[in-house]
Structure 1
Amino acid sequence: MYEQLSDTDERPTSILSKAFDVLAVFNADQRVLTLTEIARASGLPKSTTHRLLRRLISLGVLEPHGAGFKIGLSMRRLGSAMPIESLRESALPHLGSLHRWSQRHVHLGGLRGDRVIFVERFLVPGRELPSASPGTDIPAHATALGKAMLAFLTQDELDTVLAKPMTPVTAKTVTDARALCAELHDIRSQRFAVAIGESHSDVSCVAAPILIKGRAVSAISVSMTAQEGGVDRALIDAVRVTADRISRDNQQVLAQGHESWFPAID
């Protein structure tokens, strides 16, 4: 168990909270931003934003870039320190193989609470199909990736997720807890999940969990347009085999003294 932290000093308007407001405006499409753009996007006064930028630059968190600012290169060290980064590295060759074979978008994601956070993606150039960039989060119940991981939660963990309202993302999103539980039961036994038009009306996905010690520590998916028809058995098998290979390779990494990175279900 992690060390419990006190929330007695939790102040939403603290300097730390404001600093994260600044950092949160950067994304895959907004990699370089000016002072004015950062202030506008964060909702902070320009004077406050200016002071925060000076401090973040002095810490190496941000760097000047032309007339604007960018995330500092030293921040890459923090990203590489995440346990899932080890999994991502071991997954890359397998994701590449699945991408070349399927000729479709391939994604790797993790589960945090009731949200899927995308970690990596392989895109097909010129293919007009919505794709979430790394760091993007989407309701887990609306995605094949999310359902592939929700299916392997403990009952207590799943109950916590289901206690929250499941808002629809599209007209086809499953929002009934009983219906979702029935689907998760099948996913757990079959080790694959399908979502047809649930996160985007024109996107269908098939996903498989990456299992380590009984936990779905991550999942992979292949996406296609609704016009391409249903998900065939060959694609399901390819996704499951790829997930199994990533699990196997990552377990070898954990066996080298890193067992705590992905603990087993209690």
Structure 2
Amino acid sequence: MVADLVEWGALERTPTGLRLGMRLFELGHLVPAQRGLRDLALPYLEDLYETTHQTVNLAVRHGNEIVYVEKLVSRGRLVPHSRTGGRLPLHCTALGKAILAFSPPHVVDEVIAAGLRPITSKSITDAARLLSDLAAIRERRVAFDVEESRLGMFCAASPLVNAKRVPVGALSITGMDSMSTARRFAPAVLTAALSLSRRLDA
């Protein structure tokens, strides 16, 4: 099976073993929904990056996790725990909480029922605390990751919501080393997300 996958291009041999091949990369970029959202979002991500000089992310929900669809990396601020195509639990990220806050109640219930597994000692593991956080996010339309996905790292995110009030993803800036910096850049994230949301049904 491995030999067949190597021949097809799904896997590549390296001196130390195997790695994913270029064929999988090509297939991943053919997924219509994610490609369309990424293409639409890219100018907003680039503007957000130029405004903040922080790492900028676009993510969508898949089950009880977020999947990173695009990531523009700040040279001086590495964010090693996330990558394009990578996944993290919804409840442990600003991106995920921004999406959850505007999702139907049954989605939130499913996340809670699956168990709020922590990534760091700061991750939310209590249902009441998560519900309180989501209520605050709905009010301000900005979510924060306060060292919940990686210690020493802060993030601000805002949801992408279409005309039917359905969240289709979220934008974020991440890699900041203080909550005060995250709060300072939150308006830029919110502005970008609101502008992109208005384009979703255009």
After TM superposition, is the score higher than 0.5? yes
| Aligned residue number for residue 142 of structure 1 | 92
- For 2:134 and 2:59, locate their aligned partners in 1 and report how far apart those are by CA, in whole Å: 18
Cα separation, partners in 2 of 1:215 and 1:61, compared to 1, 3 Å: farther
Q: 2:177 aligns with which of 206, 226, 230?
A: 226
Aligned length: 199
- State the SS of the aligned residue for 2:102: coil
- State the SS of the aligned residue for 2:154: strand
| Aligned residue number for residue 95 of structure 1 | 45
CA offsets per residue over residues 195-251 of structure 1, 9 Å max, x none? Answer: 111111111000000111211111011113334735335x22211111122223332
Q: 1:238 aligns with which of 178, 188, 192?
A: 188
Q: Which deviates more from structure 2 when the two are superposed, residues 243-252 or residues 93-102?
A: 243-252
Contact 2:10–2:20 (CA under 8 A) maintained in structure 1: yes
CA offsets per residue over residues 83-109 of structure 1, 9 Å max, x none? Answer: 021000111111011001101111111
2:5 aligned with 1:56, yes or no?
yes
CA offsets per residue over residues 48-73 of structure 1, 9 Å max, x none? Answer: xxxx1333355x35266787675244
CA offsets per residue over residues 138-179 of structure 1, 9 Å max, x none? Answer: 111111001000111111221111101112211211110011
Contact 1:86–1:250 (CA under 8 A) maintained in structure 2: no
RMSD: 2.3
Q: Which is greater in Rg?
A: 1
Q: For residues 7-86 of structure 1, what are the structure 2 equivalents within 5 Å?
A: 52-57=1-6, 60-62=8-10, 71-73=21-23, 76-86=26-36
| Aligned residue number for residue 154 of structure 1 | 104
- For 1:222 and 1:107, locate their aligned partners in 2 and report how far apart those are by CA, in whole Å: 6
Q: 2:128 aligns with which of 157, 173, 178?
A: 178
Percent of matched pairs sharing the same residue: 29
Contact 2:67–2:85 (CA under 8 A) maintained in structure 1: yes
1:188 positional shift: 1.6
TM-score when scaled to structure 2?
A: 0.87
- In structure 2, runs of 5+ residues without a counterpart are none
Contact 2:145–2:155 (CA under 8 A) maintained in structure 1: yes
2:142 aligned with 1:192, yes or no?
yes
Cα separation, partners in 2 of 1:178 and 1:70, compared to 1, 3 Å: closer
- State the SS of the aligned residue for 2:125: coil
TM-score when scaled to structure 1?
A: 0.68
